[in-house]
Chains A and B, each alone.
Chain A
Amino acid sequence: MLEESRSRTRLLEVHGRTVQLMESGEGEPLLYLHSAYGENLWMPFHDKLAERFHLIAPAHPGFARTTGSEEISSMEDLAFHYVDLLDHLKLEAVNLAGTSLGGWIAAEFATRYPQRVKKLILGAPAGLWLDAHPMTDMFAALNSAEKLRQMNFHEADSLLAQMLIPDEASDEEKAEAYKGMAVTARLFWNPFGHNPKLAARLRRISSPTLILWGDDDQLIPNVYAAEWARQLNDARVIVIKDCGHLMMFEGENDFVAAITDFLG
């Protein structure tokens, strides 16, 4: 399912950090910030987005070959990281999309640099907290691929789910997954998966925003979609049917169609 040849993977040096970046397609730049799953190999959804846009998909510090995770302990650090990257790429303002962890980063970035974001797409973002609807603690389930599939997919037994979260993994795959989860833990552990100050800051985002959520998200319940929409100035919500947390895989077609439609 990997079509490496369709994309170009580059390593950039940005203020002392190496940044891995996948890129493909023509047209308007679309910066995609990946989830804690760490989709840093070229996947079908990348490919479909690249048919319409100039897709730029960097790996966060600590994921894939991007370095600098030891300097990351908050969303503040990542917002600086990504504004440096945009400057480096000489991109003044971009369409910005992010899923889960990446959605949270995108929102934090947009509260600080609203003028650098044209349109914003948030796919089941972490970052907010509702006491009545706690996010599931995925860290407590890391030793069980089965539990992780249940948290992340509508159809936990599907071939897709088993392929993306396999029961058996090579040492190299385990190491990569561990590395990614460690960076995620830096940002998620306390306060758990959110920034208590974010909700009040979302008013600073002026960009039209699309909120996407699976109708069966076991990790971050989709009631959060309404909360994001409530706090943002200009947001619309689309719920993807028969879809779990990792919508870019399980809801690939709807995910791509919604983004394409939204960006026009």
Chain B
Amino acid sequence: MRFFYFHLMCWPYLPENFREQYDSAWVWVPNMLFDPEQGGELYNEYINSLVYAEELGFDGICVNEHHQNAYGLMPSPNLIASIIARETKRVKIAVIGNALPLYNPPTRIAEEFAMIDCISGGRLIAGFVVGGGPEYFSFSINPTEARERFREAHDLIIKAWTEPGPFRYFSKHYHLNYVNPWPRPIQQPHPPIWIPGVGSIETMEFVAKRRYAYMGIPYFHINVFKRTFDMFRECCANEGYTPDPEQMGWIVPTYVAATDEQARREFEPHLWYFAKNLLKGIDISPPGYTSVKSALSIDKNRDKFLLNVETWAQIEDGAYALVGSPATVRDKLIHYQKMLGVGNILTACQLGSLSHELSRQSMKLFAEEVMPYVKQATTGTDQSQDAGREQEPNAAA
């Protein structure tokens, strides 16, 4: 069982009337709302928290990529990851991930990830994502090519890491005469690969086939996660194996304080800030971005999405966030970990407008009063295997 400290780097300073005045925190949310001075302080505080996670005993940290929005201020998670690589000695650095179709040529990802792996002494976990719907608006990348580009870029990156260069790579969307990235990653044949997903069967099959790790993207009702991980295990079974729990991860907002009452009082406003301001517009889905079938099923899960949740009782009931005293969060985590069968918990300890002070207090309590107990209670899944490493016999050329 491993714990990762997951950071979105939210923008906490949206105006009071944001919810009424703006229809989205994405794509066209005016960037004049971003104050560079405040932004600079924020980045440094957020980086401090990520470094603090190592001191507290987290197994790793997670950063991710988003563009032109107030929800996540990391258009380049690789920049942050490279700082973390220098500032830490032990933690795994999971970049989950780079949005492959947004890079042209995607060779750049093979290069930057290899740099981070070298600088960190082989601590990188390489995450690949298709990118969110809003990103296809923000970058004017054709959404109908998203899945094809993702697969082609993936194949290119893996080949760049596992086969000696230079080589030629011609696919439908990429035509590269000389692929020969310097540097190469320390981890061989390549860093572990994590793929976050929202439950589309196509992604799960892709992950299961290659024995990568699947990360369930948060903000859905716990039942959606349950279904997702069951489906993932089924996909692995179809490939003829049972997945290691460490091949699955659950991202969940978490907040711990001395008592349940205090935890809710301190955290609730920030959760609503997040749900009602920052998630607004995240669900814009350009046509052709996903299959017709997936589009309809996402449509059906709408009311199970945090953006459309209205009461604290729903938050508790759906485990959209784990909030409470150490004992409460411990119990909930053990319960849901068993229910989902995941071997990685990715806790979002900072969310929305939560202050650095409160966020750090909660992290500390979580690390001291929750993590060890949950690890103990879930032994048997507590070996640090590098799940997600490609294990196909022909992978290492």
Contacts and interface: CB of A to CB of B under 8 A. Distances in A.
Given A171-B296, A174-B299, A181 B142 contact: no
Interface string A54-87: 0000000000000000000100000000000000
B288 interface: yes
A182 B137 contact: no
Contacts of B285: 142-143
B292 interface: yes
B360 to A, nearest CB: 38
B269 to A, nearest CB: 28
Given A139-B287, A184-B287, A175 B144 contact: no
Interface stretch (A186-194, A201-209, A235-243): A186-194
B83 interface: no
Contacts of A192: 140
Interface string B21-32: 000000110000
A186 B299 contact: no
B286 interface: yes
A73 B173 CA distance: 11
Contacts of B136: 189
A262 interface: no
B237 interface: no
Given A189-B143, A192-B140, A182 B296 contact: no
B133 to A, nearest CB: 10
A181 B141 contact: no
Q: What bracket does the count of chain A residues touching chain B fall in?
A: 10 to 19
B295 interface: yes
B284 interface: yes
A142 B288 CA distance: 12
Nearest to B287: A181
A189 B295 CA distance: 19
A110 B208 CA distance: 49
Given A179-B292, A184-B287, A185-B286, A139 B137 contact: yes
Contacts of B286: 139, 185, 189
A192 B136 CA distance: 13
Contacts of B292: 175, 178-179, 182
Given A140-B137, A174-B296, A182 B284 contact: no
Chain B interface: which size bin? 20 to 34
Given A171-B296, A175-B296, A181 B140 contact: no
A186 B145 CA distance: 8
Interface string B119-149: 0000000000000000011001111110000
B284 A185 contact: no
B299 A185 contact: no
A240 to B, nearest CB: 28
B142 A178 contact: no
Contact of A178 (B28, B137, B295): B295
B288 A185 contact: yes
A174 B292 CA distance: 9
A148 to B, nearest CB: 13
Chain A CB within 10 Å, residue with most, of B136, B140, B292, B296: B292
Contacts of A174: 295-296, 299
Interface string B137-164: 1001111110000000000000000000
B288 A186 contact: yes
A73 B149 CA distance: 14
A178 B286 CA distance: 10
Nearest to A177: B287
A190 B145 CA distance: 12
Nearest to B299: A174
A182 B140 contact: no
29 contacts: A139-B286, A139-B287, A140-B28, A140-B137, A142-B285, A142-B287, A143-B283, A143-B284, A174-B296, A175-B292, A175-B296, A178-B295, A179-B292, A181-B287, A181-B288, A182-B287, A182-B288, A184-B287, A185-B142, A185-B288, A186-B288, A189-B136, A189-B141, A189-B142, A189-B144, A189-B286, A190-B140, A190-B141, A190-B142
Interface of A: 73, 139-140, 142-143, 171, 174-175, 178-179, 181-186, 189-190, 192
Closest 3 CB pairs of A and B: A182-B288, A181-B287, A189-B142
Given A140-B284, A185-B288, 20 more contacts: A73-B142, A73-B145, A139-B287, A142-B285, A143-B284, A175-B292, A175-B296, A178-B287, A179-B292, A181-B288, A182-B144, A182-B292, A183-B144, A185-B143, A185-B286, A186-B288, A189-B140, A189-B142, A189-B143, A189-B144
